[in-house]
Amino acid sequence: MNMVNLTIDDVQVSVPSNFTVLEAARKAGINIPTLCYLKGINEVGACRVCLVEVVGGRALAAACVNPVTEGMVVKTNSNRVRATRRSTLEMILSDHNRDCLACIRNKNCELQDLAERYNIRQVTFEGKMSEPNIDDKSQSIYRDASKCILCGRCVAACEKQSISVLSFLNRGFETKIGPAYDISMADAPCVYCGQCIIACPVGALHEKEEDQNVFDAINDPKKHVVAQVAPAVRAALGEEFGLPMGTRVTGKMFAALHRLGFDKIYDVNFGADLTIIEEGNELLNRINNGGKLPMITSCSPGWVRFAEFYYPDFLDNLSTCKSPHQMEGAIIKSYYAQKKGIAPEDIFVVSVMPCTSKKTEASREEMFNPTTGQRDVDAVVTTRELARMIKTAGIDFMKLPDEGPDNDLIGDYSGAGVIFGATGGVMEAALRTVADILEEKDLPDFEYKVVRGVDAGIKEAELNIAGHNIRVAVAHSTAAARKLLDAIRAGTAPEYHFIEIMGCDGGCVCGGGQPQVKAQDLMDIDVRELRAKALYEEDEIREIRKSHQNPDIIELYKNFLGEANGHMAHELLHTHYHAREIYPDSVLAEEEN
């Protein structure tokens, strides 16, 4: 790569020729403000907050899209630049609902940060400063258009997911962002992955909150409240309390949950191990008995909705297994309830998840027990919601000792469960078990690193196990899923046996319910790698690293479920999916009326 020499604020800089002024300045230790910019997603120079003065240029230039040139001289802090940025910010604020104290993003808002940086105490422009304009009909995503600054980051994130549910509507002063036909998110063909929330720099988008419902249940003496926490949460929760990204906070996480007042706390590693037993045996049954191949994982509810909307011809390929937290919820309200002598209707199951789509998944009709009429999971809170609950309760997270989950009936033993949070983790955990079953022995080499990593959206491998050539693929993000499924449809892909698909880029560690990372920080780090590293570290320290060796899983089948994929297992742990219509006429007609 050719290098280019330029001067930024009297600092000599040498950078690759494909750098923008924004990137070059950052290398020189100069932080140019941005608002619409999001590395690799939204690089359009629309908000004009990053304007700089290029000596010899006629007008100020947007640093995020302006390429460097040899000998360029740039001023990022001249009076002209500062005054222009301040005016731009004031104009944005004039049309923004500035009820910051009541905003979910208070003290974690990129617009608020910039207003403080440029010492904006009052807004001199007169805008319409919108009243709250709320869409809260979906189970997963809450929108308030009055806080939207039209930066386009959510639109770009949705487009990167190859869904494009969100777009710019109308023109001029009437411009806004929303689903086509200006319908609710509840009626749009949205998969609720929450990547729009992660991209949003302000409080215009966030998860549909359930934390108060959980507090109400905890304080209801008639309810036995059980929390179960997903693997990816421990890799990110610490960020909400100022810890470096990638810090594993498993012990403090469980300690905080105990202090919040839950009656029991379990790890979804158990549900992940259970998923592997059911899914692994389902795969072997399909291979041995001429079943539908490739079999595709069904752990990610965002991916499942994507298939239902956009690839219904692949629904028979999906595993019939419920996702891990739904499986564990079903076991809590059956096996656990029976052993503890508690009526299922008196048990309130709370899932702590890195995912916003899990909220909608838990409310699906298919996730109700047909015998009792009870939901498997009663409430889903995101990693962010858990952090807010901890702060509301006055718990000093950093001073907590390390504690573990409860280990009666539903134990936390397997490292195979914890790696579910990273892309490739479900595949690797499945291979660890399937290989042992086929080889009929405990294999010492069981780290399938070929399916790890985030460099490629699609990873492929062919493994020889007990004389069988098993072809697998891993895709993370719905955009990668679309590419892979299109290739299978066209007959240009290999004949896979097993495919893992996760709805979010990087897997659950980058789910829509995880801590938000500011655009400036994303210029320097890869969130996917740092958070996944924490999960693989935990896997490595576990004594048991294969799902089928989890003693509580063995006990569950022996005393309750019977055989894997058997009658009881299918009744409690398996489900079905159905095609969904994109923008059905009934919805459009309702919107018109």
Task: List the catalytic residues.
Answer: 279, 282, 299, 319, 358, 361, 366, 508
3-class DSSP assignment, residue 59: coil
In sequence order, what are the beta bridge partners of 414? 544
Say how far apart CA 576 and CA 320 lie, in whole Å: 6
Identity of the amino acid at 279: E
The DSSP element (H or E) to which 301 belongs, if any, is: helix 301-310
| Residue 101, C-beta contacts closer than 8 angstroms, at least 6 positions apart | none
Extract long-range pairs of 114-117: CB within 8 Å, 24+ residues apart. 114/33, 114/35, 114/49, 114/89, 115/89, 117/33
In sequence order, what are the beta bridge partners of 499? 296, 473
DSSP structure string for 341-373: T--GGGEEEEEEES-SHHHHHHTSGGGB-TTT-
Say how far apart CA 474 and CA 491 lie, in whole Å: 18
Q: In what order do the strands lie in the sheet with 468-476?
A: 295-296, 498-502, 468-476, 458-465
Cα–Cα separations (whole angstroms), residue 353 to 14, 234, 511, 512:
44, 10, 9, 10
Identity of the amino acid at 422: A
3-class DSSP assignment, residue 441: coil
Instruction: Kindly state the DSSP code that residue 559 receives in the 8-state scheme.
Output: I
Q: Rounded to the nearest 10 degrees, how much is the dihedral formed by the CA atoms of 26, 31, 36, 41?
A: 20
Q: In what order do the strands lie in the sheet with 3-8?
A: 11-16, 3-8, 73-75, 51-54, 61-62
Say how far apart CA 60 and CA 48 lie, in whole Å: 9
Q: In what order do the strands lie in the sheet with 141-144?
A: 134-135, 141-144, 205-207
| Residue 241, C-beta contacts closer than 8 angstroms, at least 6 positions apart | 387, 397, 398
Strand 295-296 with 498-502, pairing:
parallel
User: For the chain, what percentages of helix, strand and coil (3-state, to nearest 5) are there?
Assistant: 45, 15, 40
Cα–Cα separations (whole angstroms), residue 528 to 456, 506, 519:
12, 5, 15
The two structure tokens encoding residue 335: 């096996």
